[in-house]
């Protein structure tokens, strides 16, 4: 081989920020690799410093970060900025391809203008990642599929549906009715119902005009009386919607109510609401780490690591991602 000939062998590097280290470690184990060493620290004024400890020139670099607070000093905004700086560092270190692995995409709920003079923050975040140098985005259950259109680069939209649905099927042998907590989640609930081969119901709500940010359930579309109901959502933040939905279903004669969601944000007072609600069980994935003080008996956490690892493996090998999910993503 002459001095100018080079090997075409690809090199894989997986690195992670500080927001969800346990999930990052699980993904690395599933892939049979070690996480790349990255120096991450904070200046006294809060600025973030990043440096890759090893050479990434010409490598296929996957930069993992959940957009969530890692501790009292590092907010969701810090997590986003940390990942952006890691991407910039990889780009300036001459990485061949940079993939941003984002189990939970921050600002996903702000994907459109509902009122005048509002931002579309989900688009702003997309622009930031593209400007930083991300060549590809991998994310799990975006709040709305249209967020994929905010990127001019490839987006791999993963879903936790197989993991959550298989858990339910294994526990209850299909004796369920899937319930959408509102009109906006009907498509997701339909996919769950199809996967579980069961019926679908929808909670119909309206916003009260006399009290701000309060909704009330008016009726249930579908047969829930005497049935085991499963509320399906993409994320649970303060748990107001899911807990009020569980109360409504019990009033309409449900035998018991469970809930599943990909992202368990569980901002206060979510755990107190869940603890005092009629919910029998809440099942979430670990796209967002659940602090010890929020690990109550009613909450079950399933690992999304195998799904993310399989997708990363497919992207690195230039294979189909949709085949992993059989088109359900």
In this prediction, residue 214 carries a pLDDT of 53
The answer to whether residues 27 and 64 touch, using CB atoms and an 8 Å cutoff, is yes
Enter the tokens of residue 242: 């899911």
Both structure tokens of 104: 């939970």
- The pLDDT value recorded for residue 226 is 94
Q: How far apart are CA 93 and CA 293, in angstroms?
A: 40
119: confidence class by pLDDT, cuts 50, 70, 90: very high
Enter the tokens of residue 69. 């607070």
Write down all domains in the chain, each with its CATH number in brackets: 12-159+306-325 (3.40.50.2020), 161-302 (3.40.50.2020)
State what percent of residues in the chain have pLDDT above 90.
Answer: 84
What is the structure's pLDDT at 173?
Answer: 79
pLDDT band at 146 (very low <50, low <70, confident <90, very high): very high
pLDDT band at 78 (very low <50, low <70, confident <90, very high): very high
Residue 261 CA to residue 122 CA, distance in Å, equals: 20
Nearest to 107 by CA among 85, 131, 129, 136: 129
Q: Which of 115-124, 200-209, 289-298 has the lowest mean pLDDT?
A: 200-209
> Quick one: average pLDDT of 282-299?
97
Place of tokens 């829930």: 224
Q: Which of 84-93, 169-178, 201-210 has the lowest mean pLDDT?
A: 201-210
Cβ–Cβ < 8 Å for 274, 282: yes
Beta strands in 112-214 (DSSP E): 136-140, 155-158, 177-180, 199-207
d(CA 301, CA 308) in angstroms, rounded, equals: 16
Tell me which residues are annotated as active site: 205
pTM for the model stands at 0.93
Query: Rounded to whole angstroms, how far apart are CA atoms 325 and 307?
Result: 9
Q: What is the pLDDT of residue 210?
A: 60
Residue owning tokens 């399906």: 232
Task: Tell me what pLDDT residue 4 has.
Answer: 57
Name 184's Cβ contacts closer than 8 Å, sequence gap at least 6: none
Angle (CA) 7-8-12 rounded to 5° is: 110
Cβ–Cβ < 8 Å for 179, 229: yes
> Measured between alpha carbons, how far is 320 from 329 in angstroms, rounded to an integer?
12
């Amino acid at each position: 081989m002459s001095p100018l000939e080079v090997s075409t062998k690809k090199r894989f590097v997986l690195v992670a920020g500080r927001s969800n280290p346990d999930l990052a470690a699980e993904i690395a184990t599933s892939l049979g690799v070690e996480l790349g060493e990255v120096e991450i620290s904070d200046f006294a004024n809060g600025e973030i410093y990043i440096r890759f400890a090893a050479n990434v020139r010409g490598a296929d670099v996957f930069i993992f970060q959940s957009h969530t607070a890692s501790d009292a000093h590092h907010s969701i905004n810090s997590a986003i900025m940390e990942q952006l700086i890691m991407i910039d560092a990889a780009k300036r270190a001459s990485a061949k391809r940079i993939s941003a692995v984002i189990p939970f995409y921050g600002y996903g709920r702000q994907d459109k203008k509902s009122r005048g003079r509002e931002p579309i923050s989900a688009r702003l975040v997309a622009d930031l990642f593209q400007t930083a140098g991300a060549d590809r985005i991998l994310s799990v259950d975006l709040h709305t599929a249209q967020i994929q259109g905010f990127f001019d680069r490839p987006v791999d939209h993963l879903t936790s549906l197989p993991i959550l649905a298989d858990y339910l099927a294994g526990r209850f042998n299909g004796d369920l009715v899937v319930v959408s907590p509102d009109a906006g989640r009907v498509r997701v609930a339909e996919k769950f119902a199809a996967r579980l081969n069961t019926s679908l119901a929808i909670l119909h709500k309206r916003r009260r005009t006399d009290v701000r940010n309060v909704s009330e359930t008016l009726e249930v579309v579908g047969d829930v009386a005497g049935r085991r109901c499963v509320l399906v959502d993409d994320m649970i933040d303060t748990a107001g919607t899911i807990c009020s939905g569980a109360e409504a279903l019990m009033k309409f004669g449900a035998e018991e109510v469970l809930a599943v969601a990909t992202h368990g944000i569980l901002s206060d007072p979510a755990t107190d609401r869940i603890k005092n609600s009629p919910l029998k069980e809440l099942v979430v994935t670990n796209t967002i780490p659940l602090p010890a003080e929020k690990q109550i008996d009613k909450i079950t956490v399933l690992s999304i690591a195998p799904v993310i690892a399989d997708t990363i493996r497919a992207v690195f090998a230039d294979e189909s991602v949709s085949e992993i999910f059989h088109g359900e993503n």
